[in-house]
Amino acid sequence: MNAQLAAPAYAARQGDVARDRDAVLSIWRGNLGEDAHMPAKYAWFYQQADAGPPLLELLTADGLEVGACSAGRRRMLRDGKPLRAGVLVDLAVLPEHRSLGPALMLQQGLAATARNELDLLYGFPNPKAVPVFKRIGYRPLGDLVRYVRVLRHGRYFARRLPQWLAYPAGMLADLFLRLRDALSHPDTALLHADWSESTDSRVQALWVRSTKPDGIVAVRDQAHLTWRFDRSPQRGFRFLLLSGADGSLLAWFATRLQDGILHVHDYWSLHGPAVGTRHIAALLRAAREAGHAAVSIELATAPIYLAPWQELGFVARGKRPIFGCWSAQTGGEVPTALHFTAADEDE
């Protein structure tokens, strides 16, 4: 009669970004994204981050590394004061060890470390992971909502209309909305719009001059944007820079094109997250001129900052919850305001 195999002895330990690189990449292999992309991601996110190396937690089974998760450090402000934040990323466990107990042990270890080194640890769990997040001590912060504005309606009408009718009708809708936008926001013509492949010193000057809102918001200085977009292994980010008559930067949008849709991953303006309708109208005009079918943005923000996007026709198309875990020193209360974009994730 075969003896029953003993269950592995699991343990969680703090990792070291330099020492444990090979172990982490081995855990990721076949379990987290495209294998060929992983070394470049590790170099960028773990070894070059502007806020310092992430917190790294490893799960061992009988002394062998079988799981990993991390918290990427983020420089943020809370009501204008520095906040040490971290975004939960890259949870991976080898298939033979994927059960609730080991995964919970791994995340509990990371959360315990984070409570000593960070003010806030946040993440974007999928629906199945929400009960686990709550059990560890995470609480809802808000929802990251995806908003979309269609610019070229032909392919969207084709889902409901015959093709011979969909595309002519789409062209008429496109023309009508383009004229409406131009007539509703004539001051857009006073803005000078430039596409740039990278950040420049004007971005830093804008951050210094800009209004910082109440609640939680990421630091958007040149150092962060250079790391987050210019050096990202995900190529294709472009900045739309909007300037006034004197050449000073008034607003920027960090974008990336995928499948004909221009995704706005981040933005900022002289008034902080309170970007004006004329700036958004300039973004739409630039996207139209480039031939893009739609513009999308993911936002978790106060209604006053969302209103200009809705006024320009952006419609909600899905959402994801944001959960956070506060350290004891912060008091643990949920803030009244939150301004997150897709850039507040890991990639």
- Domain edges within the chain: 10-123, 145-344
As to burial, measured by CB atoms within 10 angstroms (0-12 exposed, 13-18 middle, 19+ buried), residue 92 is buried
Reported pTM? 0.92
% residues pLDDT > 90 (the chain): 73
What is the Cα–Cα distance from 27 to 66, expressed in whole angstroms?
6
| CATH fold of the domain at 10-123 | Aminopeptidase (3.40.630)
What is the Cα–Cα distance from 311 to 70, expressed in whole angstroms?
38
pLDDT of amino acid 53 = 97
Which residue from 74, 347, 106 is spatially nearest to 232, judged by alpha carbons?
A: 347
The CA R_g of the chain, rounded to the nearest whole Å, is 22
Q: Does the pLDDT of residue 334 top 60, yes or no?
A: no
pLDDT digits (tens, 9 = 90+) for 266-289: 999 999 999 999 999 999 999 999
Q: Does the pLDDT of residue 71 top 90, yes or no?
A: yes
Same fold, 10-123 and 145-344: yes
For residue 153 the two structure tokens come to: 């309606």
Band of the pLDDT at 333, cuts 50, 70, 90?
low
Which residue from 239, 294, 290, 237 is spatially nearest to 262, judged by alpha carbons?
A: 294
Tell me how long the chain is.
347
Q: What HEC string does 49-92 produce?
A: CCCCCCEEEEEEECCEEEEEEEEEEEEEEECCEEEEEEEEEEEE
3 state SS of 32: coil
The helix/strand count (H/E) of the chain reads as 11, 14
Average pLDDT, the chain: 91
Q: Does domain 145-344 have CATH number 3.40.630.30?
A: yes
∠ CA(207), CA(211), CA(215), 5° rounding? 105
Measured N-to-C along each axis, helices 163-184 and 277-289 cross at an angle, to the nearest 10 degrees, of 140
∠ CA(336), CA(338), CA(339), 5° rounding? 155
Mean pLDDT in residue range 145-174: 83
What are residue 15's phi and psi, to 5 degrees? Answer: -95, 170
Which residue from 44, 21, 40, 87 is spatially nearest to 228, judged by alpha carbons?
A: 44
C-alpha dihedral sign at 124, 222, 120, 275:
negative
Please list, in sequence order, all residues whose beta carbon lies within 8 angstroms of the beta carbon of residue 94, skipping any fewer than 6 positions away.
Answer: 27, 31, 66, 67
What are residue 295's phi and psi, to 5 degrees? Answer: -125, 135
Band of the pLDDT at 332, cuts 50, 70, 90?
low
Pairing of strands 216-218, 338-341: parallel
What is the Cα–Cα distance from 180 to 190, expressed in whole angstroms?
17
